[in-house]
Chain A
Amino acid sequence: MRLQLSPELEAFREEMRTFFTTQVPQEIRDKVAAHRHVSKEEYVEAQRVLNAAGLAVPHWPVEWGGKDWSPLQRHIWREEMQLANVPEPLAFNTSMIGPVLAAFGNQEQKERFLAKTANLDIWWCQGFSEPDAGSDLASLRTTAVRDGDDWVVNGQKTWTTLGQHADWIFCLVRTDPTAEKKQRGISLLVFPMDTPGVTLRPIELIDGGFEVNEVFFEDVRVPAENLIGEENQGWTMAKFLLGNERVGIARVGSTKSMLAQAKAHAREITSGGRPLAEDPRMAARIAEIENDLLALELTALRVAANSADGKPHPASSVLKLRGSELQQAATELLVDIAGPLSLASFAEEGSDVPDWARVATPHYLNYRKVSIYGGSNEVQRTIIAGSILGL
């Protein structure tokens, strides 16, 4: 057992920290820190800065731009990125379809898509969930029927995050409705969002923002060459992809950054004639969340330091579950520190309420999502009970 990082890893951490805090434009990082809306152009700009330095897709195979880093290096890379409030490389590209293409795509597909995916020249969106297929994803009903050289897609997807920005969609479709197990009749297709027959309806969320969409498919013709992997192998790729989705989902760096902001604001707000930070209940609450976050960070480090042999550490399932709870606890803390100021959520010019207090409640409401997406926390508990405790 050893507390410190090796000198090499310490230098690596410093290198990451320096890069993220000096090379990614400050105004973009300020927006992330303030939880304000980051535009498509800003996402693209930030990812291209990273990609130019080889830091957008370090977890990909080396021949497609990956770095062959250890899990601990990847952990440090991600944490430092979050601490510096850098918008993370678009997950749909870098954690989801990219690794799937690298693992299951044919050579032509890899050459066609991977470099553009890493550089965010193509913005991907995820066509997985449907109105009647949420946690029970395998019951999806969108169909693809072979017609000559094309697949003809009909059906509907939902919760398609940032679909309004997307150039392409990767989409799970049912290609064999007669398969004995519903998981066996699913395939993965990719196609441009401007293909005739694709329509998108934005869904307004409780924070007033537009982040997710419904996507409808009406006789959408997709060339057969856009099938990824084998026909009816889609579920294997979906599981592979969702496994990646849970990596780094603890988001410790991001929650740490929120907690540091919460402390700063608690020092500024006065309550009962003293700074709120000196209120014993508030201070204890912050201390408790901070300690929970430390336990999570150490668990993430334990998992990262121990998963070198390729097998995930059993404690990894804790990361999503607890990580989402602590992200939510931090957003809730910020609302409570803002107190009455939190009501000025949609104030514009002419309000004296500081920006952080205006965004606090929308952010808190928006972050109810984190215990739902990427495998809801109930799904995580099912995994822990089943695969770890054998229940």
Chain B
Amino acid sequence: MNFDYDSEQNDLREAVRGLLARAYSDSEQRRTVVKTDPGFDEKTWSRLAEMGLLGLPFAEEDGGMGAGPVEVAIVAEEIGRVLAPEPFIETVVLAGGLISAVGSAEQKGELLAGISEGTTIAVFAHAEPGTRWTPAAEAVTATQSGDGWTLTGVKEPVPSGARADVLVVSAVVDGGTGLFLVQGDASGLTRTGYRTHDGTRAANVRFEGTPAVALGSGDQTPAIERALAEARIAYGHEAIGAMDTALRTTAEYLKTRKQFGVTLNKFQALTFRAADMYVSLELARSLALWASMVQEAGGDVVQAADRARLTVSRAGRHIGKEAIQLHGGIGVTAEYSVGHYTSRLTAIDHLLGDGDWAADRLAQNVASYDTVDPLGAPYAP
């Protein structure tokens, strides 16, 4: 049992932090970047690729670095710390994770190399209007036609869906949900992108007999469930980074902002609330780190992700809301940083399942066992 990073992991963290600190040294830089499409900085994306971060979890034979979930978590946390808008989790963890898990050797060779090099942006087109946070597809269907497939239906919202070079699409097939690859320039594909409240981009993606290539075959629900779980854990770390900055920014503000002739940290009503934010953050951090360790150890990653999701969701809402309130009016402005953190935490909360959703999943069988042993089965093999 050990929660510490090793020296290589510490070096990785310093390197990522340094790169992102140059790209987003203040919130104005980020505001400028997210103002125009694609909502992130292509140069920063290339630098992430040069550092090897975009191939971090992929096997070395697929052009990746062969790193584990802890390394991915480190990058995600640093992204959250400065709210870097680059679609790292979307492309590398989620779409890349699915390709890595079920793709053919050829698909992996081509796509994962492209992702690693920063030349291919792939995203998972999965959410559908009218359903929420399920591993199954309902509204997009796949039909076999000759050697290939065609897709019909609508996916929305798809993060970075308009910018993506390749879409990994979930669709109804006989016996479940299959996975398909669709090129960004495919015929019968209409993408309408828009800006989201947190500065990133999403899209309505419409398939009308759109040609697609199967990624794996048959029902892929378990692979989707697993990839979503791994992405939930990664988003948890991004949220930890964001909460950390939101809390530190708030504490600094309390020390400098004066009212009634004194700095705000003279008011216990405020400092106690900041203390509670710290409690929320550290508890969530423990669970997020643990979930990554469960993933690394080959334990029940889906349940560990639900547990992390629940705690991170509660903490994200608590810290995001209090960070604004303790700032006062300036916290609601777009010109000041802290409100953007709340906005991003709110987006993360709703991307792949919120706290109530996770609590409900955990509640399904909570009465069927006595106690949770975080060091034992089912979390450790």
A contact residues around B279 at 8 Å (CB): 318, 321-322, 384
Q: Are A388 and B278 in contact (CB under 8 A)?
A: yes
Is A286 an interface position by the 8 A CB rule?
A: yes
Q: Are B282 and A318 in contact (CB under 8 A)?
A: yes
Is B310 an interface position by the 8 A CB rule?
A: yes
Least distance between A126 CB and chain B CB atoms (Å): 27
Is B34 an interface position by the 8 A CB rule?
A: no
Q: Are A295 and B372 in contact (CB under 8 A)?
A: no
B contact residues around A286 at 8 Å (CB): 363, 366-367
Shortest Cβ distance from B5 into A: residue: A1
Q: Are A263 and B366 in contact (CB under 8 A)?
A: yes
Is A301 an interface position by the 8 A CB rule?
A: yes
Least distance between B64 CB and chain A CB atoms (Å): 20
A contact residues around B272 at 8 Å (CB): 378, 381-382, 385
12 contacts between A and B (CB under 8 A): A3-B380, A4-B375, A264-B370, A266-B367, A278-B367, A283-B363, A287-B310, A287-B362, A378-B272, A381-B275, A385-B265, A390-B255
Shortest Cβ distance from A314 into B: residue: B282
Identify the stretch in B106-114, B205-213, B293-301, B334-342 within 8 Å (CB) of chain A at 4 or more residues: B293-301
Is A294 an interface position by the 8 A CB rule?
A: yes
Is A239 an interface position by the 8 A CB rule?
A: no
Least distance between A70 CB and chain B CB atoms (Å): 11
A contact residues around B297 at 8 Å (CB): 3-4
Least distance between B275 CB and chain A CB atoms (Å): 4
Is B259 an interface position by the 8 A CB rule?
A: no
Q: Are A4 and B370 in contact (CB under 8 A)?
A: no
B contact residues around A294 at 8 Å (CB): 287, 307, 372, 374
- With A295-B311, A305-B1, A306-B3: A1-B287 Cβ-Cβ less than 8 Å: no
Q: Are A259 and B371 in contact (CB under 8 A)?
A: yes
Highest count of chain A CB atoms <10 Å: which of B271, B311, B363: B363
Is B131 an interface position by the 8 A CB rule?
A: no
The B-contacting residues of A in range 148-175, CB under 8 angstroms, are none
Q: Are A305 and B2 in contact (CB under 8 A)?
A: yes
Q: Are B1 and A4 in contact (CB under 8 A)?
A: yes
For the complex of A and B, list the 7 residue pairs with the smallest distance between their C-beta atoms, beginning with the closest: A277-B367, A283-B363, A298-B286, A3-B293, A385-B271, A384-B275, A295-B283
Least distance between A269 CB and chain B CB atoms (Å): 12
Is A53 an interface position by the 8 A CB rule?
A: no
CA distance A281 to B297 in the complex (A): 33
Shortest Cβ distance from B271 into A: residue: A385
CA distance A62 to B6 in the complex (A): 32
Q: Are A391 and B360 in contact (CB under 8 A)?
A: no
- With A3-B297, A292-B311: A298-B374 Cβ-Cβ less than 8 Å: yes
Q: Are B282 and A2 in contact (CB under 8 A)?
A: no
Shortest Cβ distance from A300 into B: residue: B286
B contact residues around A389 at 8 Å (CB): 247, 251, 271, 274-275, 278
Contact code string B240-259 (vs A, CB < 8 Å = 1, else 0): 00000001000100110000
Is B359 an interface position by the 8 A CB rule?
A: yes
Is A36 an interface position by the 8 A CB rule?
A: no
CA distance A225 to B379 in the complex (A): 56
Q: Are B380 and A4 in contact (CB under 8 A)?
A: yes
Highest count of chain B CB atoms <10 Å: which of A259, A275, A283, A388: A283
Highest count of chain A CB atoms <10 Å: which of B268, B283, B356, B367: B367
Shortest Cβ distance from A275 into B: residue: B367
Least distance between B322 CB and chain A CB atoms (Å): 13
Is B289 an interface position by the 8 A CB rule?
A: yes
Q: Are B255 and A263 in contact (CB under 8 A)?
A: no
- With A1-B296, A3-B379, A306-B4: A284-B363 Cβ-Cβ less than 8 Å: yes
Is A280 an interface position by the 8 A CB rule?
A: yes
Is B70 an interface position by the 8 A CB rule?
A: yes
